[in-house]
Amino acid sequence: MKENNSICRAVDIRKTYMRGKVAVEALCGVTVQIQRNDYISIMGPSGSGKSTLVHILSCLDSPTSGEYYFEDRLVSKYTDQELAQIRNKYVGFVFQSFSLLPRSTALDNVALPLMYGGVRKKEKIEKAQDILNKIGLGDRMHHRPNEMSGGECQRVAIARALVNDPRIIFADEPTGNLDSVTGAEIMEIFDKLVEEGNTIVLVTHDANVASHATKIVKLKDGRIDDA
Ligand SMILES: Nc1ncnc2c1ncn2[C@@H]1O[C@H](COP(=O)(O)OP(=O)(O)OP(=O)(O)O)[C@@H](O)[C@H]1O
Ligand SMILES: [Mg+2]
């Protein structure tokens, strides 16, 4: 039997935002497919629709038209509850601004996505500890975000994205707030995750960062730029 390697498939996706009475066409017919173990970077000028596309691919937002399939099911057919489950269990997110809970320790931030899974407390802590150790933050477990460097915070965010063993990881400008040396360290982590079989889609302005990926999708004015 032929193995199905597709994680998600977006067909002719359009997204229109209303800014007052003005319609903003953020995406004008984008078709992309993501397969298991893909390493894709999305590039393009500011306002070209990169974040909008990632929000749709990660089921954070829905398209105005077009079809989006996640794990071979049309996303528009999922209930809100199913979508929340997909985001929690199947999708990992990493943002430019880290988006950690400021008053929680690294360990608690990483364990947070396990809250919804009915996992026992001891197991949650062990799982979060394992991932923090793996990502080189074993000695920062009990630090809060303001007691860590930007690179450390981003590694905590990556650990949090990984804790539920997601099918796919989306990262929107993950190195955008980091100096180039720290950014390179974060990219080494992503490279290793892909070597281990993970699937990563990352948005970046930086050609050096994008060159880590095996496939580059360029957006221009809400369209894929094949030139
Ligand atoms: N919630 C919103 N309401 C109205 N317009 C929006 C909204 N979100 C995005 N847009 C518009 O949609 C277009 C695409 O935005 P998007 O954030 O996807 O761009 P981007 O490529 O991620 O840009 P950047 O590199 O600056 O992050 C822009 O014109 C933006 O102003
Ligand atoms: Mg953006």
**pLDDT tens, residue by residue, 46-65:** 999 999 999 999 999 999 99
pLDDT at position 51, please?
Answer: 97
Angle at 40 between CA 212 and CA 73, to 5 degrees: 155
Q: Per-residue pLDDT tens for 71-108? A: 989 999 999 999 999 999 999 999 999 999 999 999 99
Distances (CA, A) of 103 to 11, 27, 99, 109: 41, 37, 12, 9
24 close to ligand 1 (CB < 6 Angstrom): yes
Please work out whether the CB of residue 44 comes within 6 Å of at least one atom of ligand 1. yes
The closest ligand to the CA of 49 turns out to be: 1
For 88, the token pair is 């929690």
Cα–Cα distance measured from residue 114 to residue 120, given in angstroms and rounded to the nearest whole number = 9
CB 66, CB 18: distance < 8 Å: no
Among protein residues, the one with the nearest Cα to ligand 1's atom 2 is: 17
Looking at the DSSP assignment, which residues form a beta bridge with residue 16? Answer: 25
* pLDDT beyond 60 at 2: no
Look at residue 25 and tell me whether its pLDDT is greater than 60: yes
Residue 130 has pLDDT above 70, yes or no: yes
User: What are the start-end ranges of the H helices in the chain?
Assistant: 50-57, 80-89, 106-111, 121-134, 150-162, 180-195, 207-210
The number of the ligand nearest the C-alpha atom of 45 reads 1
Q: Is 14 exposed, middle or buried (0-12, 13-18, 19+ CB in 10 A)?
A: middle
pLDDT at 15 > cutoff 90: yes
| Average pLDDT rounded to a whole number, residues 184-189 | 95
What is the predicted pLDDT for the residue at 179? Answer: 95
Confidence class for position 3, pLDDT limits 50, 70, 90 = low
How many whole angstroms from 223 Cα to the centroid of ligand 2?
Answer: 15
Task: Report the half-sphere exposure of 47 (CA within 13 A, side-chain side).
Answer: 3
